[in-house]
A and B are shown apart, each in its own frame.
Chain A
Amino acid sequence: MSIWEYANPVKFMRTSGAVLPWVAAAAAVSLPAGLLWGWLTPEDYKQGATVKIMFLHVPAAMMAINIWVMMLVASLIWLVRRHHVSALAARAAAPIGAVMTLVALVTGAVWGQPMWGTWWEWDPRLTSFLILFLFYLGYMALWGAVENPDSAADLTGVLCLVGSVFALLSRYAVNFWNQGLHQGASLSIAPGERMSAVYKYPLYLCMAGFFLLFLTLLLLRTRTEIRRRRTAALLAREVRA
């Protein structure tokens, strides 16, 4: 059996229906556990208690980018192989990604205020997240504006492709424009700059929690989209009969 079997709406509904409760339960356990563990970590000698914002900020930022990548992959699958579920999954992911971006921006502002003495700084990382947020808004607006779902899926797919290239381009362009205050990646494979294990493990758990939360929401929203398309199709058939 190939993975493309799941592109069949009926199969997708059956499988996702079976998986959803488990994913939801795993998210419901890991996310509060991770956040609580993060809350109980000792205060940083330099940053104090504010370092704990990290447990919201870093996973949200990570998911904001990953969700866009997932949308890009789903859009490509739709454009190349015309699997309808894929297009609906991309549509379903966009608002989640937009909220994650917003969470990353807001928690970043709250973190930045005591650290840098300002709520907002036109720093490359912050700026590129703002731009990413705009791309999410445009993508969702285009889905909402085009009435014919087939055209909407095609147009948003093309927009996602072009948008991805420009989001990446903007990411490096803003580097050129302003060097910035933001620290480097919080987690890095390079030796020497690893954060201490006290923070690392709860952060991993939070990341897993955010990912599971996204998966839960994505499955839920995709199922809703599929049902909505199905009611629209049935309604259309009734009107014609």
Chain B
Amino acid sequence: MIALLMRDLRLATRAGGGFGLGLAFFLIVCTLVPFGVGPQGGTLALIAPGILWVGALLACLLSLDRIFALDWEDGSLDLLATAPLPLEGAVLVKAAAHWITTGLPLVAAAPVFGILLHLPGAAQPWLVAALALGTPALSMLGAFGAALTVGLRRGGLLMSLLVLPLYVPTLIFGAEAVRRGAAGGDGTTPLVLLAGITMAVLAAIPFAAAGALRVNLR
């Protein structure tokens, strides 16, 4: 499993833009939003939690098709399916690699983007905590969507349609925690619920995703 994780990370760095691309996309979203809603700090601060979460969601979505599509094309997925490593484990590892290349940089850079959008300082820790707890679920659910659509020629759009509704609970609790933090309140309740969803997703979805992969491999 560690070998697979290391290989995926190495591929992400060598193929270029593995780590940076999601961040650059996030930056563009945070740059464009003020053009759309006007530069008033008050308005921006009000919508910042939502923008940051939706941006994270889209940045995650854009790189999802790479989770399995490349391995499917070059036959690696066939070989992984026959390897001693259970396919569920491979799915979990590949989702983890996706999270490390897209989710983790977002978590680390989120405070900077928060400043760009005038997010109140009190909300910054909540933002980082919510993203850190929520983005693993985004990667895992994305891996499920990618597994469903791996054999399809133009699966990208379909995958967005399948995956985005699954993101609703994560988005609600994640943004709510930041919003409560921004209002000077306590975001513990949504944060705990968010963590619960992430844990349930990490525990159960690998089985569904591996099942979908097996169907697509036959």
Contact = CB atoms under 8 A, between A and B. Distances in A.
Interface string B73-85: 0000000000000
Given A155-B148, A158-B211, A142 B169 contact: no
B29 interface: no
Contacts of A158: 148, 208, 211-212, 215
A177 B172 contact: yes
B168 A176 contact: no
Contacts of B173: 173, 176
Given A135-B165, A176-B190, A176-B193, A162 B158 contact: no
Interface string B178-191: 00000000000010
B14 interface: no
A146 B153 CA distance: 10
A134 B164 contact: yes
Given A154-B215, A173-B172, A142 B148 contact: yes
Contacts of A151: 151, 215-216, 218
A152 to B, nearest CB: 9
B30 interface: no
A131 interface: yes
A155 B176 contact: no
Interface string B103-115: 0000000000000
Contacts of B216: 151, 155
B155 A155 contact: no
A76 to B, nearest CB: 13
Interface in B197-216: 197, 205, 208, 211-212, 215-216
Interface residues of B, number: 27
Contacts of B26: none
Interface residues of A, number: 25
B8 to A, nearest CB: 24
A171 to B, nearest CB: 9
B212 A166 contact: no
A40 interface: no
A163 interface: yes
B71 to A, nearest CB: 18
A137 interface: yes
Nearest to B218: A151
A173 B144 CA distance: 21
Interface of B: 144, 148-149, 151-152, 155, 158, 161-162, 164-166, 168-169, 172-173, 176, 190, 193, 197, 205, 208, 211-212, 215-216, 218
